[in-house]
């Protein structure tokens, strides 16, 4: 597996972890208060940011502009 493909896998897993933690925090906000809401919101924002970055990386680094794989 190339380093670029590993990067896509790693960013995807990080996005899932951020989203899962954010949802977990927000679902437990009744017992945790403002700290859980803040951590959940920040985690969901980071999930969105890593999803955007992963999409950008996939489109611009993994594939060349002519559609051919960039791993030549």
pLDDT tens-digit map of 27-38: 877 667 888 889
Inside any domain, residue 1: no
Q: Give the per-residue pLDDT at 70.
A: 59
Q: What is the pTM of this model?
A: 0.78
Burial of 37 (0-12, 13-18, 19+ CB in 10 A): middle
Inside any domain, residue 50: yes
Inside any domain, residue 40: yes
Per-residue pLDDT of the chain (72 residues; tens, 9 = 90+): 788 889 999 999 999 999 999 999 988 776 678 888 899 999 999 999 999 999 999 988 876 655 566 554
Residue 51: domain span: 8-59
How many structural domains is the chain composed of? 1
Inside any domain, residue 66: no
Q: Could you give the residue ranges of the DSSP H alpha helices within 28-72?
A: 29-32, 34-57
Inside any domain, residue 65: no
């Amino acid at each position: 597996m190339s380093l670029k493909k590993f990067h896509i896998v790693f960013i995807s897993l990080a996005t899932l972890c951020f989203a899962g933690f954010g949802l977990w925090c927000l679902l437990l906000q009744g017992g945790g208060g403002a700290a859980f809401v803040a951590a959940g919101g920040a985690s969901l924002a980071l999930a969105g940011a890593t999803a955007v970055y992963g999409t950008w990386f996939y489109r611009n680094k993994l594939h060349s502009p002519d559609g051919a794989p960039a791993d030549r």
